[in-house]
Chain A
């Protein structure tokens, strides 16, 4: 039964459309204005594009928030007037209904994903305001916006082709952005190039996997004629819900290639090797973007694809019996990722590299949330879902803050190695305190959000019987604490190279304070978001 795009579907895709419009607006306003060549007008030009992007993203975030109805839902008996009708129409396009054209779900998962991703892009664009990023600011910001749009689509995709296209839409702008570095062109272009080559490799893998899965799904329906909607996740799950399909090597192989390809996006070991170099070489706010929004989108896609397209291949997380299916594969990947990620982070002196490894390790923790599918109980599975999303929210806020603090340091102190941060507390106590909040959250110390997020994930994984994965997680958290302490030691305890105070750029300061407040709020009042996250129910295949 073919489904057509209807005009009433437009408001449901409003955030993505608005992102596209904003991108064109930023690009156009930069292109059609005649800018002077001198330093001052160049600065003005960057400011113009940057603030347009930031304001626009802020507005889109608010519109999405209004649309989702999470903070305010228009009562049914509200009076009819112009503004309220707009709100009503907006909320009618909220988290309800079947996927648009069978390809884009606009459920709670998408809504929360949009909020996280657009919010992250907003914070990142604020970070870049003081940064003077590039010669062509319109292009720079338009790329960020297009990539954000791709990420939102990744969170929404319920079909193979859409998923692939959204991954590409996300990645291609990011390849270019990774190469955008004014002062360190060589390292930055190297980063962009590496990222691109790897992206190409993984794109190939995803496509190959998808074609295998599609072929298998088409072949397994009797008659085989009506294949045109066989790319939808739910249809794949239906077609493969037989005994034989679950045992098929071909379907498993296809799924493995997809996992490997998305695994590259979220940088889990062994598909991680690009990330330290790319993170180190990119502009710091872009690194923040790469390590948070891009990862979060990858996890949302991975989550939806595994849960809706391959519910018949879940397997168990136990080592002894029934090793097989994606939970046991992810268990192994999670263990490898947390162990190697934390170990490799220990000797790093460059903090961007250190945080790169740390964010690899964090990807391992996120994957543990998917262990919940090893349990047959719906309640455990939904615990896994909320743990996953809660972790992504906390991690996004924390990491943007941490990289933001590094961005300030590298701008004002002149670099982002341990040596540069030495004695920062005596040069700018505020910045050092903010950095400490983010680092403690990453290390998982209560009452920061990072602690509850980790605790919740461990809890969900333990419930599903993956206790050995949890043990590894807890032990490596302790190892991880050591390098986080090294950062704190450098900033708070060691002697500074100079006692000159470090200035704090206005917008970066605002961003960091916002993130820090969020980190603490998420730790002390997690229910503010958990009640919303709890509504996420992704339908598994029948």
Chain B
């Protein structure tokens, strides 16, 4: 098979694909074509889309490849599609961020960081398939530990979890270490 054919086929596959497709998936479908060629072709397609400022771009997201519209065209696409994209409130975003960076994490641990009840938000995130229960924590009550899903990566255009924006270090302005017991707000709040 000619290299140009491979490229053409892969472009077709990307066009019909539901969701990001792994390199492995292309290797399976195009049996006989080696992995390196497919990878190179994908990269070529990617840079072509970018260089020619095409209306669709090939992005690496959630461990796979997917065609997505160019960001600059967002307004036109929105106008064309009509309707409003689902809005994500601050509470949802904050909770999601905590879970993303601290996974696996329990609901109580998220609440300790946010200082507010997150029951409703967790339910919404579960419903939207952005988080899932990954295990149970071995503490009394065996609460669920939550982690993010591939849909989370897709939503935020992330290749994988290591590509999360780095958490800003705010520790440098922390108080000097003073020996002795700290006052515990948790104890305080229980009273």
Q: Do A and B bind each other?
A: no
Instruction: Using CB atoms and an 8 Å cutoff, list the residues of chain B in contact with chain A.
Output: none
